[in-house]
Amino acid sequence: AAHRKMSTTTQFFALLAFFLAVFVSVSHQNDSFSMQVKNARSFNVRDLHSLKRLGLSDAAVARTEGNNPIALFTLSEWNSETNKKRTSISFVNLTTSQVSTVTTPSWGESDVSPKLLADGKTILFLSTRGGGELRPFISDLYGRRIVPLPGFSLPDNMGMDNLVVAPNGKYFLFTTGVIVDCKDVQCTSDRLKVQSTQDFKVFDQMYIRHWSTWSDHTVQHIFIQPINLNNTMWTTVDAPRDIMAGLNADSPVKPFGGVEAIAISPDSTLIAFNAEQHRHDTSWRTDWDIYVTDVSKPTTPQLLTGDRTARTQSPAFSPDGKYLYFGAMDVAQSESDRVHIVRRDVSTGTETTVAEDWDRSVDAILFDKNGKYLIVEAADDATAKVFSISLQDGTIKELISEDANHGLMTIRDLSNGGAYDNTFVYARTSIKAPADVWTATFDSDAVSVELKQQTKANKDLMDQLTMVDAQKFYFPCSDPQPDNEGKGCQGWIMFPVGYKKDQSHPVAHLVHGGPEGMWDSSWSYRWNPQLWASQGYVVVMVNPHGSTSFGQKFTNAVLRNWGGTPYETLQKGLDYALANFEGLDKNRIGYAGASYGGFMAAYSATKTDRYKAIAMHDGVFDTMAMGYSTEELFFNEAEFGSTFYDNPEGYDKWNPMKNIKNVAKNQNILVIHSLLDFRIPLTQGLGMFQALQRLGINSRLLYFESENHWVLKQQNSIEWYDQVLGWFDKYVKPTQ
């Protein structure tokens, strides 16, 4: 059709119609603002679980038909009507940002861990297609032909995970559970079948259970599976081999370790991995080690860090293969010590520390194209950032500082032996938006950076919603001071949808767990402050002493001090927000926290009556009993300074149970706990609830039979938010 120029009158009415259709209100508070479109609606928990959850896979690159790099990712969805989930695979062309779907499995099935093979045309992935455990499948780039990987075999009752493809494309790695004294996987399979018929378990040492699972006496081992391209079809070569055979250790370390624990050298001849040995003292140690093995020599892996008593993790080979880098802690028993970078000469074994004086913990280690710089993830001032570290002079430069940046991955050209690029792929979230794929391209000096958003996985739904931003604030607090250029202690504040500074708004005081954790600007499917803000609450989130990203001295301030300085800092931060931001009602405040935040819920209830309602999720009620019943004994021994029998006074010093009679009679406390929480066992929540009931204090117990320390199932999460926000709406929101 011909394109005709509009008349002046037509333009006027078109503009008038536009401004009448869209009404924008801007609320301003201390140089921050949120823009709300009239036609948009408030965000709710059902929206949260209608979002597609993006998972970024290894961003391997091939020169495809269009000669463009691609990044593979997964999208997980939930069907609220059938209560079934599925995970599909897509890729984005990093030149054009065009997204293509590879797989769309049936509801109840998952396609995960996609990897591009060396031909640049085939995707290897794991799937539950057909029911049962994850198994390897292959597909062309557009899902036109999807078949099980020819020749692969593993007993039906053995799962697999942690898929890693070698740079030369000749093999892949995966992990599965094995019984150490079994000579092959069939032996493990047979013993597991016998276990499945038994109604008892026998243990001679810990762990007897971990996180949410009772031990089945298996350890997680890495297997190597050779593959070959025959004409146009990839097939296996021989059976998979356990490269950790005879090693009584887990790799990756349970329960949360993943592919970051495994590294393959650029020439594909060496495999490095971190592992945790199973010994009688495993549950009260954090002695993870780094091992290396030669692919061509089926011998026991070489232990590289046997002289270290603290945790080592995240191995990474330099682009030239001459050095192995890894993260290391110095303090035995700690899981929250500073993670610094160690460089080990592969030939000589000589080790040096990189950026030794940098007081931040490194989460991931990558390299620029020429190996002149490390590109690392590290949290700083309550933000997940990306930095470069010069390997020549140690200069550290901040590269990406906005929002939350995770899963940074190097682009590697599989058509060129896995050569590195200076473009990186990562998942970026914010407190206003879930994850999408982004790229960051650095110049040759790793100084300037060009950022590009590659996907908009939830654009249709997000465009319908009003989201509010969070802003940082700083306030005076006790020593030790955070390492942030003298700004003071830090918190976040979010103003609700419909906020007006001349009106009074209820306040939600959210407290994070850990205690060595932080509130940052990232998206969460569990604790999402946006859901409180959408219901009319001003959200205050303080990072007290013990929080990460402010230097190790600040983090260590919580040790043997659970209810001391951290409690004071939480209250000072709340007081500062009430005094310095308009529209916060000091008489309508609710508290919600989980884990250590749940401990602080119980502790705060015995110390103050300022909260109209408290939600305590999986919190510690009795610190002494916690010491006897949790599974990771190293945690309590590090936090309280010793064992529960050598230092009972230290465990009891901040014990909420001792002062439960101090809880105000007009308090309203919602206790939430789950059967499969082995970190903070169910009896902690039951003890709190029963004590409150016996004291005649208004209380409610929300109990989940199939959840662990986290509420992960969508239906249960909806109930969780309905209960918690309903509790707040009943006891905090009313003005009388």
In this predicted structure, the answer to whether residue 371 has a pLDDT above a threshold of 90 is no
Q: In this structure, what token pair is assigned to residue 725?
A: 């926000």
Q: CA 342, CA 329: separation in Å to the nearest integer?
A: 10
Element (H, E) at 387: strand 383-390
pLDDT of residue 239: 96
Mean local confidence (pLDDT), 28-33: 38
In this predicted structure, the answer to whether residue 63 has a pLDDT above a threshold of 70 is no
pLDDT of residue 369: 83
In this predicted structure, the answer to whether residue 408 has a pLDDT above a threshold of 90 is no
- pLDDT grade for 414, boundaries at 50, 70 and 90: low
Q: In this structure, what token pair is assigned to residue 658?
A: 């001792």
CB burial of residue 194 (10 Å; 0-12, 13-18, 19+):
exposed
Does a structural domain hold residue 399? Answer: no
What percent of the chain shows pLDDT beyond 90?
Answer: 83
Write a three-state SS string for 152-186: CCCCCCCCCEEEEECCCCCEEEEEEEECCCCCCHH
- pLDDT grade for 31, boundaries at 50, 70 and 90: very low
pLDDT per residue as tens digits for the range 549-577? 999 999 999 999 999 999 999 999 999 99
- pLDDT grade for 11, boundaries at 50, 70 and 90: very low
pLDDT per residue as tens digits for the range 224-241? 999 999 988 999 999 999
Q: Report the CATH number at residue 650.
A: 3.40.50.1820
Does a structural domain hold residue 191? Answer: no
pLDDT of residue 43: 97
pLDDT of residue 66: 54
pLDDT of residue 14: 40
CA neighbours closer than 13 Å in the CB half-sphere of residue 316: 23
Contact 396, 46 (CB under 8 A): no
Length of the chain: 736
Contact 70, 94 (CB under 8 A): yes
pLDDT of residue 62: 60
Mean local confidence (pLDDT), 411-419: 60
Q: CA 621, CA 628: separation in Å to the nearest integer?
A: 13
pLDDT of residue 102: 96
Does a structural domain hold residue 201? Answer: no
* Cis preceding-peptide flag for 240 (omega within 30 of 0): no
Does a structural domain hold residue 89? Answer: no
Count the neighbouring beta carbons within 10 Å of the beta carbon of residue 415: 15
pLDDT of residue 3: 34
pLDDT of residue 39: 56
Q: Which amino acid is at 36?
A: Q
Q: CA 543, CA 549: separation in Å to the nearest integer?
A: 10
- pLDDT grade for 386, boundaries at 50, 70 and 90: very high
pLDDT of residue 581: 98
Contact 415, 120 (CB under 8 A): yes
Host domain of residue 32:
8-43
CB burial of residue 299 (10 Å; 0-12, 13-18, 19+):
exposed
Mean local confidence (pLDDT), 80-109: 96
pLDDT of residue 243: 98
* Cis preceding-peptide flag for 474 (omega within 30 of 0): no
In this predicted structure, the answer to whether residue 7 has a pLDDT above a threshold of 80 is no
Does a structural domain hold residue 682? Answer: yes
pLDDT per residue as tens digits for the range 254-274? 999 999 999 999 999 999 999
In this predicted structure, the answer to whether residue 628 has a pLDDT above a threshold of 50 is yes
List residues bridging with 99 in a β-sheet: 92
pLDDT of residue 136: 98
Domain count, the chain: 2
Q: CA 636, CA 9: separation in Å to the nearest integer?
A: 74
Contact 387, 394 (CB under 8 A): no
How far does CA 240 lie from the centroid of its chain? 30
Report CA-CA distances (Å) from 153 to 136, 240, 559: 10, 8, 49
pTM of model > 0.85: yes
pLDDT of residue 683: 98
Mean pLDDT estimate for the chain? 91
Contact 315, 290 (CB under 8 A): yes
Does a structural domain hold residue 703? Answer: yes
Does a structural domain hold residue 375? Answer: no
Residue 14, C-beta contacts closer than 8 angstroms, at least 6 positions apart: 6
